[in-house]
Amino acid sequence: MTLVLAATTPGEPEIFASLQGEGPSTGKPSTFIRVSRCNLACEWCDTAYTWRFTGDNRPHRDAETFERTANQVSLSEEESAARIRELGCNRLVITGGEPLLQAPALARMAALLPDLHIEIETNGTVAPPPALDALVHQYNVSPKLAHSGNPAELALIAPRLDEWSENSRAWFKFVIAQPDDLDEVLALQKEYSIPSERIFLMPEGRDCDALRLRSAWLAEICVANGFAFTDRLHIHLYGDTRGT
């Protein structure tokens, strides 16, 4: 069986070692594996090469499309696990795209890596099946707000949000573009009883200037509301590049 992965260059799967750039594990050495395909389409997505293939007309601010054959790689679960192990980190971050669309294959891969701390980054719309859930130590859940361009009926699925809120391994990361995005976060927190200590707010941006500009006022919002702030460390270190 195979995983469908994103590519750093044609034919080369996006499996790499770096520092986690976002959320509760920021700064920790990690191995990343990036899957291809997503069920949502954020207008500001910085990994549109995982889903906006030629013929996909879902909106994106860059209006760029990508050739599927140059940006997707099929790799066996065994080979994926071997490449992850070779990189030598004890923390694995499974990101995308939307990883849980390939949950059965990920479960088989994760079973080959029983000694690793496994994080999954998800948009929160797909429930993890028991076989995978049993192997995951941390979920970084990023529900998409209205400014993402996704219809709420696709991006904010009530049963899923209830389940994530009740899951102590799930941390919520909300991307914030404008100060009034906070109203939507507070409404979701109230509706789904999300504990403040598991909420991170992150500035939207794909370059250092945009992140710094939004961070100035977002930090104050976090202090006032008891939420954690997360920057995008990898952007500051490496820029908006693949494999970082």
The pLDDT assigned to 26 comes to 98
Q: What are the residue ranges spanned by the domains of the chain?
A: 2-172
**Contact yes or no for 154/148 (Cβ under 8 A):** no
Reference 195, options 227, 235, 152, 147; nearest CA is: 227
Q: CATH number for the 2-172 domain, one of 3.20.20, 3.30.310, 2.60.40, 2.30.30?
A: 3.20.20
* Cα-Cα end-to-end distance for the chain: 27
The pLDDT assigned to 116 comes to 98
The pLDDT assigned to 90 comes to 98
**How would DSSP label each residue in 111-160?**
HT-TTSEEEEEE-S-SPPPHHHHTT-SEEEE----GGG---HHHH--HHH
Cβ partners under 8 Å of residue 222, min gap 6: 201, 228, 229
The pLDDT assigned to 1 comes to 85
Q: Where are the alpha helices (DSSP H) in the chain?
A: 68-71, 77-86, 103-111, 130-133, 152-155, 158-166, 181-192, 208-225, 233-238
Instruction: Look up tokens 């200037």; give the residue.
Output: 209
Tell me if the pTM is above 0.85: yes
Average pLDDT, 10 consecutive residues per value, the chain (244 residues)? 96 98 98 98 98 96 96 98 98 98 98 98 98 98 98 98 98 98 98 98 98 98 98 98 97
The pLDDT assigned to 17 comes to 98
Chain centroid to Cα 220, Å, comes to: 24
Reference 128, options 96, 97, 167, 80; nearest CA is: 167
Rg from Cα positions in the chain: 17
**Contact yes or no for 39/154 (Cβ under 8 A):** yes
